Amino acid sequence: MRYLTYCTSAILLLLLSICSVTEVYAQRFSEYQKLSIRDQRPPLFFDFFVLPGDSEESVQLVSAYSFSYRYLPFKKLNQSSSNQDPAKAFFSPINLSMEVFNATEKQLRKKGRDVSVEGLETAGRSFWEDTAYAETYEESQSELKFLQGNLKVDLRPGIYSYVLQMKRGEGTDPRMSRTRTVRVESYPQMETGNVLLGNSMSEDSGSKQFKLVSMGENVKYGSDFQALAYIPNYDPSAEYTVKINSLEVSGKDTSQTKTVFTQKLSDEDIHANIRPTLKQNSEAENILELSPNDNGFTYALLNIPNSTFPSSFYRLSIHKGSSEKPASETTFRSMWINMPRSLLSLDVSIDMLHYIVNEKTLDQLRSGSESAREQKFRAFWEKRDPTPDTEYNELMAEYYRRIDYAYQNFTTNNTIGYESDQGEIYIKFGPPENKERRFPANGSTIEIWTYPNRQFVFRATTGFGDFKLVTDQSQ
């Protein structure tokens, strides 16, 4: 994992000798809240690209998108009907519209808020509406479950400004609006082909279906993916090579660094005379149906070993022969969508190891410059990686996921969740097989956590969710 892509040191040094217990608690609690605020993973993604139209002189301008459930305002359905589907206990309606306007070169040069469609002639419109459903409240807050959809407008080559508007939920929820200007080329006129990112290729009733990632220019960190690259003016007698280079991104500046992957295309990678059509499958996922067509185009289907790449930014390009100019090109980011918040600060991540290492080891990990501490932290987890051939470390991810869970579920006015007795047991042993609460007539509430060969008993110490471990029994 390229840790510093996401992580910067943010924890303040605490002078424990002059701080009261209350002050220490407040600062630690505040530090974790800062990590949550700094966690700016996007809850919604938009892809904008073009597909072949019905004729050589037309294209489809496409917006494919996915919305994380945690972004959508869910409401609980009325459960009065006995026929109510339990999978639809919570719902969230959403609708989008895209209006496209004829624009000019002058409009194309404008950026950001300077883009305006006032006085422009409408070239096309598209609308989409759907409803997301969740079975439980927890599912409605998931950042790994998405609602997908797409909008399409048929256009001729030219310059266009488009306005995308979105309305979430019911009532008067304000609309989100985006305005952009683009130059649209016909497929035969393209000098550099576009590249679409997907999860898999499958067949259904004899038709090939390419399932799109639909995460903007992002792919899931730690997972391989596929790319469908349009190659204009494909020459079957030439040799084509795919390259992936890592990118150094600083503000608006992007520089290409080392090559992390290169491979020559084989005949099996090439798919000629196909026309992709954007649809949704039975799971309501965005797919490209790849249909044979005498007036189709040539694409390369690429298998990208993203599980071996650090989480970072990359440029994917296909080159004909020794040409430096790419025949096809795109950029993408390998993003850890549900990265534990406790990994957003190197110092916090090291401190959280105190549950599983002794103080001597902690002192060693804490010493040195930030670069030295990062190297030692990475080495610590690399030794414990159950899949050393991949970048994603499942054991590390699970450990810090438990810390986040403890913070979110066991924090009270008196104790930070990961410092509570229940939090510590959860971090060390994970979720119990069974959790039971008892309410004695003449005593405090008791909670019993049962594991395959162990049982922990906690007793409530306040009326605000604070539980103390009173029994640790091996079975």
- Taking only the tens place, the pLDDT of each residue in 397-441 is 999 999 999 988 998 888 888 889 999 999 999 999 999 999 988
Same domain, 291 and 392: no
Average pLDDT of span 27-42: 58
The DSSP call for residue 455 is E
Same domain, 174 and 60: yes
Same domain, 183 and 197: no
Task: List pLDDT tens digits, range 132-184.
Answer: 999 998 899 888 889 999 999 999 999 999 988 888 877 655 566 788 888 99
- pLDDT(29) > 70: no
Residue 425 placed within a domain? yes
- Tokens 């082909």 -> residue: 193
Q: Give the percent of the chain with pLDDT over 70.
A: 86
Mean pLDDT of the chain: 84
Pairing of strands 44-52, 59-68: antiparallel
Q: Angle at Cα 120 formed by Cα 115 and Cα 123, nearest 5°?
A: 105
pLDDT value at position 40? 54
Residues whose CB is less than 8 angstroms from the CB of residue 376 and which lie 6 or more positions away in sequence, other chains included: 364, 365, 368
CA atoms within 13 A on the CB side of 43: 11
The CA-atom distances, in angstroms, between 24 and each of 15, 21, 333 are 9, 5, 38
pLDDT value at position 58? 87
Residue 357 placed within a domain? yes
Residue 448 placed within a domain? no
Residue 13's pLDDT band, with cuts at 50, 70 and 90, is: very low
Residues whose CB is less than 8 angstroms from the CB of residue 118 and which lie 6 or more positions away in sequence, other chains included: none
- pLDDT(23) > 60: no
Q: What b-and-e string marks burial along 7-34, b requiring 16 or more CB atoms within 10 Å of the CB? A: beeebeeeeeeeeeeeeebeebbebbeb
pLDDT value at position 10? 28
Residue 251's pLDDT band, with cuts at 50, 70 and 90, is: low
Q: Comparing 114 with 167, which gets the higher pLDDT? A: 167
Task: List pLDDT tens digits, range 332-387.
Answer: 999 888 888 888 888 889 989 999 999 999 999 999 998 899 999 999 999 999 99
Same domain, 321 and 225: yes
Helix axes 359-366, 370-382, angle to 10 degrees: 130
| Domain's final residue, options 154, 189, 224 | 189
Same domain, 28 and 167: no
What is the sign, positive or negative, of the torsion defined by CA atoms of 452, 453, 454, 455? positive
Among candidate residues 126, 120, 64, 129, the one with its CA nearest the CA of residue 99: 126
CATH of the domain at 168: 2.60.40
pLDDT value at position 3? 36
Residue 449 placed within a domain? no
Give the N- to C-terminal CA distance of the chain in Å, as an integer. Answer: 39
Same domain, 413 and 373: yes
Sheet with strand 240-250: strands edge to edge: 218-220, 326-335, 313-320, 240-250, 253-264
**Pair of tokens at residue 367:** 């010493």
Same domain, 208 and 289: yes
Q: Give the percent of the chain with pLDDT over 90.
A: 47
Task: List pLDDT tens digits, range 308-341.
Answer: 998 889 999 999 999 999 999 999 999 888 888 8
Same domain, 201 and 325: yes
Task: List pLDDT tens digits, range 167-179.
Answer: 887 765 556 678 8
**Pair of tokens at residue 305:** 């070993």
pLDDT value at position 448? 94
Same domain, 220 and 274: yes
Beta bridge partners, 99, equal 125, 163
Residue 195's pLDDT band, with cuts at 50, 70 and 90, is: very high
CA distance 89 to 320: 54
pLDDT value at position 14? 26
The DSSP call for residue 356 is T
Q: Are 153 and 123 contacting, i.e. CB atoms less than 8 angstroms apart?
A: yes
Type of residue at 101: F
Same domain, 417 and 333: no
* Tally of domains in the chain: 3
Q: Comparing 263 with 293, which gets the higher pLDDT? A: 263
Q: Are 168 and 131 contacting, i.e. CB atoms less than 8 angstroms apart?
A: no
Residue 143 placed within a domain? yes
Sheet with strand 146-155: strands edge to edge: 44-52, 59-68, 146-155
Residue 440 placed within a domain? no
pLDDT value at position 344? 84
Task: List pLDDT tens digits, range 212-235.
Answer: 998 888 999 999 999 999 999 999
Residue 194 placed within a domain? yes
CA distance 267 to 329: 20
Type of residue at 76: K
Same domain, 376 and 249: no
Where does residue 453 fall: left (phi above 0), alpha (psi -120 to 50 degrees), or beta otherwise?
alpha
Structural domain boundaries enclosing 255 = 190-337
Same domain, 181 and 63: yes
pLDDT value at position 348? 86
| Domain's final residue, options 189, 205, 220 | 189
pLDDT value at position 423? 94
Residues whose CB is less than 8 angstroms from the CB of residue 245 and which lie 6 or more positions away in sequence, other chains included: 256, 257, 258, 259, 260, 314, 315, 317
- List, in sequence order, the alpha helices (H) in 45-182: 105-108, 137-140
